[in-house]
Chain A
């Protein structure tokens, strides 16, 4: 069950690390996804479903595909988790 009172920061970072095999320390907010070793469109989609399923949110796919950095994804995820974004 998603818990909206928790800041997605560390949890999201761990999730990105699991999906991309990149060490946690390397995943700074300004880090660009396309610079990550082994990043591909396939990785991008795995991360997309992982974030949606883990946080129980629905992201806008078009916006997601233009999100370039770890910080950008944190922002997108946080916005989707706010109560007004929920159906």
Chain B
């Protein structure tokens, strides 16, 4: 533990230098003592010391509400959250009164107003020791009753708070079935326990604010002891340190989805990452991919990459290879699962890979902190780690059978739910590339924009658009006025409130329909309308769409009799495009707001955009 811990300690010295690679190194170690002590030291330090330069951490209030002693989870969670780009304020509630903490509207937990509440429970919370193990009828009744009470408390808590709650399935220690001597009874207990866990999984409703982590499954293939019975009996600690660390990392994946710091683009190497062997040396017909080991391990890796792509992750290639040969292998090799159209960019050349990654980021208009890079070469991994500390680097060394687990275990791409846009994302980016190529053939930018024949449709977000609107609010880092994501519940409240309005905007042009590319959250007062936030996908920058949307907003506000628009604004270190937009539109700063008078009326929408404002569709329409 010494070297890494010395680096952590150094951060506490006056004038300490930045150490942005530290959280990633900590999150990959299994030395729980190191991480726990590091987490305690980091709790007192400025998170900027361990984040890539220029990147502001997302702040998140996280409560740990446990039915057992979970004090040691807090420092572990801090480290895992820092690695996910989150600066957390962590509050631990006392373990003995979990239900009351959840249920009471004025409990310590409720007053803390957490953005995320991690609810930790152990087997004894649902099946106390006093129930005789052989009395399965009583055990059944007791666990069902306790599950119902827990479900009620969680529902009540979700109702009076605004944040999200993460529950988990509960593993049953092997000693409990083993105290039963009849195999039949062990099976009945197993069934009873699965029913309990099913009940817990059912507490998560689609679109709701309760999530459930399937901890039982996570433990099934990990060599992690559930607990240390001595510390359990002595101090009420129901989880082993290794399990606490496993959980902290999984919970950080969920927090990443809540805070919108999930990564969006996967860049993979080819030789010995997506197939075995070296394409240039071994030839197209000799690379290892197919039905036999090790080819089947590489095929599994390709399928996993493709599955990520289908769920909305953009996939690109950075490989030191002959570009023509790479085109040929994707076009001709019969054994590959991945094809050229699965990728948004293919950089096959002999240039340094950090340069290739930067090029891909520029082409896609995404920040490098949205990238995950997977390669088998220690040289390439170290190069990228050193020169692009914002990129998450995963080295797939060793047996290719372990590649998939290495790629997905960090939870870098975790989101709360996927939408229709996710399934079409690669296609949308490919259309964007066609658009850019076409732009290069046009004599001027104006000519290009006019030739796109763009239509922008703005309307009050309907039931079909809301999930995408919420998702855009959470994943947009550049064009966002505040960096604050409105929750699904808050968005729904605003969409139906008499003085609330949530506008979704869609864009279509000669290359296709982009669907919902942005949204505006409005509170409509008499004198002024407040833009609580406005977000727009970075895919559609530099086309004047935001000004067309502002035209609609200004028109609606003026028609309602308002005299000015106010916009909330908070610099996040990443949202320069939104600041530029407000300035260009003529908003002037006033405190933490930006103000735009509505008189005299002004034209904002560019001439090359056809603007359609569609009236709110009613339930009866």
Chain B associates with chain A: yes
Query: In the complex, which residue of chain A has the Cβ closest to the Cβ of B234?
Result: A61
Q: Which residues of A have CB within 8 Å of B231?
A: 45, 48-49, 61
Query: Is B37's beta carbon under 8 Å from chain A?
Result: yes
Q: How far is the CA of A15 from the CA of B36 in the complex (A)?
A: 12
Which residues, 53 to 101 on B, are CB-close (under 8 Å) to A?
71-72
CB–CB B36/A46 < 8 A? yes
Q: Which residues of B have CB within 8 Å of A18?
A: 1, 5, 37
Query: Is A34's beta carbon under 8 Å from chain B?
Result: no
Q: How far is the CA of A81 from the CA of B19 in the complex (A)?
A: 36
Query: Is B180's beta carbon under 8 Å from chain A?
Result: no
Query: Is B175's beta carbon under 8 Å from chain A?
Result: no
Interface string of A6-30 (1 = CB under 8 A from B): 0000000011001100000000000
Query: Is A78's beta carbon under 8 Å from chain B?
Result: no
CB–CB B241/A54 < 8 A? no
CB–CB B230/A53 < 8 A? no
Measured CB to CB, the residues of B under 8 A from A are 1-2, 5, 31-33, 36-37, 71-72, 228, 230-231, 234-235, 237, 241
Q: How far is the CA of A45 from the CA of B237 in the complex (A)?
A: 10
Query: Is A80's beta carbon under 8 Å from chain B?
Result: no
Given A19-B33, A45-B234, A50-B33, 6 further pairs, Cβ under 8 A: A18-B1, A45-B237, A48-B231, A53-B33, A61-B231, A61-B234
Interface string of A24-47 (1 = CB under 8 A from B): 000000000000000001100110
CB–CB B235/A45 < 8 A? yes
CB–CB A49/B33 < 8 A? yes
CB–CB B235/A14 < 8 A? no
Which of A19, A50, A54 counts the most chain B CB atoms within 10 A? Answer: A50
Interface majority SS on B: helix, strand, loop or mixed?
Answer: helix
* Cross-chain contact of A53 among B72, B234, B237, B241 (Cβ < 8 A): B241
Interface majority SS on A: helix, strand, loop or mixed?
Answer: helix
CB–CB A14/B33 < 8 A? no
Given contacts A42-B71, A45-B231, A46-B72, contact A19 B37 (CB under 8 A): yes
Query: In the complex, which residue of chain A has the Cβ closest to the Cβ of B30?
Result: A53
Instruction: Give chain A nearest CB distance to B12 CB in angstroms.
Output: 10
Interface Cβ pair total, 8 Å cutoff: 34
CB–CB A54/B33 < 8 A? yes
Q: How far is the CA of A87 from the CA of B572 in the complex (A)?
A: 56
Query: In the complex, which residue of chain B has the Cβ closest to the Cβ of A49?
Result: B241
Q: How far is the CA of A15 from the CA of B1 in the complex (A)?
A: 9
Query: In the complex, which residue of chain B has the Cβ closest to the Cβ of A51?
Result: B33
Q: Which residues of A have CB within 8 Å of B32?
A: 49, 53
13 residue pairs bridging A and B, Cβ less than 8 Å apart: A15-B33, A18-B5, A18-B37, A45-B231, A46-B36, A46-B72, A49-B32, A49-B33, A49-B241, A50-B33, A53-B31, A54-B33, A61-B230
Measured CB to CB, the residues of A under 8 A from B are 14-15, 18-19, 41-42, 45-46, 48-50, 53-54, 61
Q: Which residues of B have CB within 8 Å of A19?
A: 33, 37
Q: How far is the CA of A3 from the CA of B5 in the complex (A)?
A: 20
* Cross-chain contact of A14 among B2, B71, B72 (Cβ < 8 A): B2
Query: In the complex, which residue of chain A has the Cβ closest to the Cβ of B1?
Result: A54
Instruction: Give chain B nearest CB distance to A2 CB in angstroms.
Output: 13
Q: Which residues of B have CB within 8 Å of A53?
A: 31-33, 241
Closest 3 pairs between A and B when the two form their complex, measured CB to CB: A50-B33, A18-B37, A61-B230
Q: How far is the CA of A46 from the CA of B605 in the complex (A)?
A: 62
Q: Which residues of A have CB within 8 Å of B1?
A: 15, 18, 54
Q: Which residues of A have CB within 8 Å of B230?
A: 61
Query: In the complex, which residue of chain A has the Cβ closest to the Cβ of B75?
Result: A46
Q: Which residues of A have CB within 8 Å of B2?
A: 14
Q: Which residues of B have CB within 8 Å of A49?
A: 32-33, 228, 231, 241
Q: Which residues of B have CB within 8 Å of A45?
A: 231, 234-235, 237
Q: Which residues of B have CB within 8 Å of A46?
A: 36, 72
Query: In the complex, which residue of chain A has the Cβ closest to the Cβ of B36?
Result: A46
Q: Which residues of A have CB within 8 Å of B241?
A: 49, 53
Q: How far is the CA of A53 from the CA of B37 in the complex (A)?
A: 13
Q: Which residues of B have CB within 8 Å of A50?
A: 33, 36-37
Q: Which residues of A have CB within 8 Å of B234?
A: 45, 61
Instruction: Give chain B nearest CB distance to A39 CB in angstroms.
Output: 14
Instruction: Give chain A nearest CB distance to B298 CB in angstroms.
Output: 32
Q: Which residues of B have CB within 8 Å of A41?
A: 235
Q: Which residues of A have CB within 8 Å of B5?
A: 18
Query: In the complex, which residue of chain A has the Cβ closest to the Cβ of B233?
Result: A61
Instruction: Give chain A nearest CB distance to B1 CB in angstroms.
Output: 7
Q: How far is the CA of A44 from the CA of B231 in the complex (A)?
A: 12
Q: How far is the CA of A61 from the CA of B5 in the complex (A)?
A: 27
Query: In the complex, which residue of chain A has the Cβ closest to the Cβ of B235?
Result: A45
Q: Which residues of B have CB within 8 Å of A42?
A: 71
Instruction: Give chain B nearest CB distance to A62 CB in angstroms.
Output: 9
Query: In the complex, which residue of chain A has the Cβ closest to the Cβ of B242?
Result: A53
Q: How far is the CA of A54 from the CA of B1 in the complex (A)?
A: 8
Q: How far is the CA of A61 from the CA of B228 in the complex (A)?
A: 11
Instruction: Give chain A nearest CB distance to B289 CB in angstroms.
Output: 36
Instruction: Give chain A nearest CB distance to B468 CB in angstroms.
Output: 46
Q: Which residues of B have CB within 8 Å of A61?
A: 230-231, 234
Q: Which residues of A have CB within 8 Å of B71?
A: 42
Q: Which residues of A have CB within 8 Å of B237?
A: 45
Q: How far is the CA of A41 from the CA of B72 in the complex (A)?
A: 13
Q: Which residues of B have CB within 8 Å of A48?
A: 231
Q: How far is the CA of A48 from the CA of B72 in the complex (A)?
A: 13
Query: In the complex, which residue of chain B has the Cβ closest to the Cβ of A53?
Result: B33
Instruction: Give chain B nearest CB distance to A77 CB in angstroms.
Output: 14
Q: How far is the CA of A42 from the CA of B2 in the complex (A)?
A: 22
Q: How far is the CA of A5 from the CA of B502 in the complex (A)?
A: 68
Q: How far is the CA of A50 from the CA of B72 in the complex (A)?
A: 12
Which of B33, B72, B230, B231 counts the most chain A CB atoms within 10 A? Answer: B33
Q: How far is the CA of A72 from the CA of B21 in the complex (A)?
A: 38
